[in-house]
Structure formats: structure tokens, C-alpha cells
Amino acid sequence: MTLMVVGSVAIDNIQTPSARRDDVLGGSAVHFSFGASLFGPVQMVGVVGDDWPEEHTKLLKNYGIDTAGLEIVPGGKTFRWTGKYLENMDDRETLDVQLNVLGDFQPKLPEAYRRAQYVFIGNGAPATGLEAIKQLQGADLIVADTMDLWINIARPDLAALLTKIDGLVLNDSEAKMLTDERSTISAAKKILTMGPKFVVVKKGEHGSMFVSQYEIYVVPAFPTENVVDPTGAGDSFAGGMMGYFASKGNMDAETIKTALAYGTVTASFQIEGFGADRLREISRENIDHRLEQLRASVSF
Ligand code: AMP
């Protein structure tokens, strides 16, 4: 099944307690695409300026990522994000955001992308996701991500987006913020009343949870010791999960649980290097090996 992502394409500056890296290829669409590319081809929709290095496009293509949907705005500047991780490597501060061409991004899907069956709306303004969804011709599964920023500044657009999607992926704290609920499960159930048929709540090193009207599945995080840079963990989780869904073409219970586990394992590799460095080094074999380790650790 064809898989498409719409999201941010960025140049990131990342600081961790022990290192700093500037001008790292990033953005929600990029991290999603590297994760999903381990499962099959991906169509990527995003926008950059003419400061965007051509070698980044070549690199994406080398990983089976279709960049026909990457718009280059002449005279524009690429979105830039600078973040700093605190000592616990979980909490982070955004030090600087320059929206640049992402600020008024109106996605225009190439003709071939409009028939995508599996679609992920990565982190970005909800209005961008709504515009992309309008151009689709009968997708089988539309899943979106969101974050605290959009819950705070774009709630009406986010509410509209929730009515157009099948699933929402978000962090535990964001689910609670969106719903004013205190427990994860109450928050997830409240989100089901806002439109989506299912919610995937990510709880960082405590794993993730899939909640629909009749099902609840939990998957623990893969116990990773070597956390180098958590940037893109959520996006690569979604990439692994959606990549697996698209490769299977169904949503039965076994597929849902396995997709959550694949998302978990993909994210566990992502955080072992800066930006997408680690995902670029690994193959589907490495992912499958770790999936078996995760499976062995939870079967009893
Ligand atoms: P994650 O760690 O999964 O939240 O993803 C981090 C990526 O999201 C980085 O590569 C950033 O460039 C990108 N990002 C940060 N803030 C935003 C934003 N407001 N909208 C879209 N993308 C963002």
C-alpha cells in the first residue's frame, strides 16, 4: 500500500548535556520517512528554501524516499529549530524556532500522491494537515501527530483536523493537556469523542498505548541504554508503525500490536545517534532482531 507523509522538513541545532550538533537534517516528515523507509517506499510532502542543500534531497532518495512532494521556495529559508535536552535526556527546551517557509506552507500534493492509501500528518500547523487531507482521493487510513504548541495556539484547527482523521498519535502529557484529564486512559477515551477512532499515546521510556472503543494494547519501550539524541523519537515511532501498517494493509489486533512494537523498536534506534544518523546505518534485519528481543522480554 502507498504511504505518504506531510510534515516539517528542517535544519536542526541540537544540544545534549554532553554534545552539540549544528545543521542537522531534521523535521517531522524527515524522521518519519527514514523510519518508514525500513518497511517500504514513502512519499514525502514538505517545504524548504533555496538554502536547502541538494545533497539532503539525494540522501533521502537513496533511502527510497520520494521527494517529488518537496517544494523548494525560491528566495525562501528552510525551517530551523534549536533544542536543548536537560540532564534526564527526556525533557527539552526549544531555544529557537524560525518558521521561515514553513510559516505559510500550503501543501500541493503531486497527482500521484493524491491516491495514497496510508497517510501520516506529521507535526506541523493543523491547517497544513487539513489542506493536505482535502486533496486526498479516498485514503484507507489517515493518522496525525500533534504537540503542545498546536494545542495552545491552534485549537480550532486542531479540533477540525481531529474530525478528519482515523488515528491520533501524541505524548502522554499532550493527551492530558488536550483533554484536561489526569489519567492517560481517560484522556485517550476523551480524544475518541473528538473524532479519531483510535489514539496512540506515547509515554517515552515507559512505552506506548493504543486505545480504541473496544481495544487497549500496551507495549513497553525497548530498554535502550545508549541515548545520544532523542530528537525525532516520536516521528520515527510513527514511521515504523505506519510503515508496518502500510506493508500489511490491514488493522487486525495482531497487526496493531506488532505495528506498535515496530514503532517502539524504530524509535529505540533513532535515539542512539544524532538526528537520523543511526536509522541511516541500520537495515530491516536489525529492526527485526530487536523486535524479537522485545517480544521475548514481554512474553510469559
Ligand atoms: P520529535 O522529537 O519527535 O518531537 O521531533 C523533533 C523534530 O520536529 C525536529 O527535527 C524539529 O525540526 C521538528 N519540530 C520542532 N518543532 C516543530 C514545530 N513547531 N512544527 C513542526 N516541526 C517541528
Task: Render pLDDT for 84-122 as a digit per residue (tens, 0 to 9).
Answer: 999 998 889 999 999 999 998 999 999 999 999 999 999
Q: What average pLDDT does range 146-171 have in this prediction? A: 96
Asked if 253 and 216 touch (Cβ cutoff 8 Å), the reply is no
Tell how far the Cα of 144 is from the centroid of ligand 1, in angstroms.
14
Average pLDDT taken over every residue of the chain? 96
Which residue of 97, 158, 231 sits with most ligand 1 atoms within 8 Å of its CB, as the best mutation to test the pocket? 231
Ligand 1 atom nearest the C-alpha of 125 is 20
In the predicted model, what is the mean pLDDT of residues 188-204? 97
Average pLDDT over residues 127-141: 97
**Which among 104, 107, 103 has a CA at the least distance from the CA of 121?**
107
Q: How many domains does the chain have?
A: 1
Total-model pTM: 0.97
DSSP, res 273: S
Q: Could you list the residue range(s) of the whole structural domain that residue 88 is in? A: 3-298
The yes-or-no verdict on residue 238 having pLDDT over 90 is yes
Percent over 90 (pLDDT), the chain:
95
pLDDT given for residue 150 in this prediction: 94
Q: Indicate if the pLDDT at residue 46 is higher than 90.
A: yes
Mean pLDDT of 188-193: 98
For ligand 1, atom 13, the nearest C-alpha belongs to 27
- DSSP letter string, 201-257: EE-GGG-EEEEESS-EEEEPPP-----S--TTHHHHHHHHHHHHHHHH----HHHHH
Q: For residue 100, give the CATH number of its domain.
A: 3.40.1190.20
Question: So what's the pLDDT on residue 276?
Answer: 96
Q: Where residue 5 falls among pLDDT bands split at 50, 70, 90?
A: very high
Reported residue count of the chain is 300
**Residues having CB within 6 Å of any atom of ligand 1:** 8, 10, 12, 26-28, 31, 81, 123-124, 149, 231-235
**31 alpha carbon – ligand 1 mean position (Å):** 9
Q: How far is the CA of 252 from the centre of ligand 1 (A)?
A: 31
Among candidate residues 6, 3, 49, the one with its CA nearest the CA of residue 27 = 6
